[in-house]
Amino acid sequence: MTLDQHLLQTLIDIYPNTVSFESFSKHYTCSKDDFLEAGRILQIKDYPISHTNNHFYLTIPLISEAKLNRLTKNTKTHHPFIVKEAIPSTNTFALNSFSSFEEGSVILAHHQTKGKGRLGRQWSATMGKSIALSLVLRPTIDSQSLPLFTQLTAAALCQALKAYGDTQIKWPNDIVLNGKKIAGILIESQFQENQLEGLVIGIGINTHLEHEDFEDSLLHKATSLKIETRQIVDPNVIIADFLTVFDQFYSDWLKTHKTYPFISVCKKESALLGKEIHVFSPNEPPKAATVKDINEKGELIVHYQGHAQLTPLQSLDFSVRNSQNGYI
Ligand code: BTN
């Protein structure tokens, strides 16, 4: 590891305390100039660090492998954590080396340079100010069950984020807080010779993004936990809480194949049930509809204006928007 990586690790481990040259040089042989240079490198890389009187400190907590291991020691599934500094996308990283990751592995990055959103969109966030997580799973399922995983994940994420406010689920894959998006889910599958080898469950959570970190076009529809709660949150606690709830839903589903436990959460916490929406599908004009239900397959049941029957929508094909304010 380079000196700046050692300094980063030290800052992560001792957050919120400061690191002085005197304490750092007890563990890592270096001159004071080397120490200051290491701190400057981290600042140039955009890590959220500050300094005062030649002490460095993190302004917000970052993902810590040691803390995650501590917080998840009692989860139902064992989760090996792989924490990267900056990579294009945790989902791409997981998919590219899929066979090398064991079930339950969690790939995390302080920064993604080419984060992917649903329907081919981009997902970008400032260094250290959001959670980028990819969970590797190898369930023996057919690809028709895939949309269910978005609902299972949304239910777990919504419950884990309840600690920060009245979070809701905007079918199929958004978690919203106070009417704006706080987190998104992108599930990708890995096939080998037409056989489903496994899944990568990608989750992005806006933790400490400020207004200026969002593009103007997103300001009216996206937000962060910091903006909404005016508090510093610990990404490690959020990740551990999410994995705890996820593991419970997932292990129950593997045993029973009953979807009620998580679909009932999706319904209870739905931001769309009963609402007038517009349904967007590729190559078609948006269609006005009323949301009636979410069924046991995780499909959104809508009533299109002028239609006699209800129509189920699968999450892979559609996005929906509220008819009034354009987002929820
Ligand atoms: C969406 O709302 O469109 C889905 C966003 C998913 C973003 C996460 S961040 C971690 C993982 N890696 C990616 O490239 N995307 C997902």
Confidence category of residue 317, pLDDT binned at 50, 70, 90:
low
Kindly give the distance from the C-alpha atom of residue 119 to the centroid of ligand 1, in angstroms, as a whole number.
Answer: 11
The number of C-alpha atoms within 13 Å of 13 and in the hemisphere containing its C-beta is 9
pLDDT given for residue 328 in this prediction? 58
* Cα 189 to averaged position of ligand 1 atoms, centre (Å): 14
* % of residues, the chain, pLDDT over 90: 83
Asked if residue 303 lies in contact with residue 290, where contact means CB atoms within 8 angstroms, the answer is yes
* 274-302 tens-digit pLDDT: 999 999 888 889 999 999 999 999 999 99
**Which of the listed residues 83, 84, 89, 116 should we mutate to test ligand 1's pocket, taking the one with most ligand atoms within 8 A of CB?**
116
Q: Which of 32, 40, 53, 39 minimizes the C-alpha distance to 7?
A: 39
List 180's β-bridge partners, or say none: 177
At residue 66, what are phi and psi to the nearest 5 degrees? Answer: -60, -45
Could you tell me if 253 and 262 are in contact, meaning their C-beta atoms sit under 8 angstroms apart?
A: yes
User: 326 C-alpha to center of ligand 1: Å?
Assistant: 21
Question: In this structure, are residues 240 and 71 in contact, taking their beta carbons and an 8 Å threshold?
Answer: yes
Does residue 73 contact residue 66 with C-beta atoms inside 8 Å? no
Mean pLDDT of the region 294-312: 94
How much is the pLDDT for 316? 64
CB of 48 closer than 8 Å to CB of 63:
no
Task: Determine the distance separating the centroid of ligand 1 and the alpha carbon of 187, expressed in angstroms.
Answer: 8
Q: Whose CA is closest to 108, among 93, 123, 125?
A: 93
Q: How far apart are CA 112 and CA 79, in angstroms?
A: 21
Phi, psi of 316 (to 5 degrees): -70, -25
Q: What is the pLDDT of residue 323?
A: 65
DSSP codes of every residue in 206-222: E-S--GGGS-GGGTTTB
Q: Which of 118, 123, 221 to mutate to test the pocket of ligand 1 (most atoms within 8 A of CB)?
A: 123
Each residue's pLDDT tens digit, 9-54? 999 999 999 999 999 999 999 999 999 999 999 999 999 999 998 8
Task: Report the pocket of ligand 1 as residue ranges, CB < 6 Å.
Answer: 89-91, 112, 115-118, 121, 123, 132-134, 173-174, 184-186, 202-204
**Residue in this structure with the two tokens 């020691």, named with its chain if needed:** 73
- Is the pLDDT higher at 147 or at 166? 166
- 314-325: average pLDDT: 69
Which residue type sits at 306?
G
Q: What mean pLDDT comes out for the span 74-83? A: 95
Q: Determine the Cα–Cα distance for residues 30 and 24; give it in Å rounded to an integer.
A: 9
**What is the whole-number distance in angstroms between the Cα of residue 52 and the centre of ligand 1?**
35
Contact 208, 182 (CB under 8 A): no
Q: What is the pLDDT of residue 281?
A: 84
Q: Which atom of ligand 1 is nearest to the CA of 183?
A: 2
Instruction: Find all residues with CB under 8 Å of 281, minimum gap 6, and list them.
Output: 287, 317, 318
| 251 has a pLDDT exceeding 60 | yes
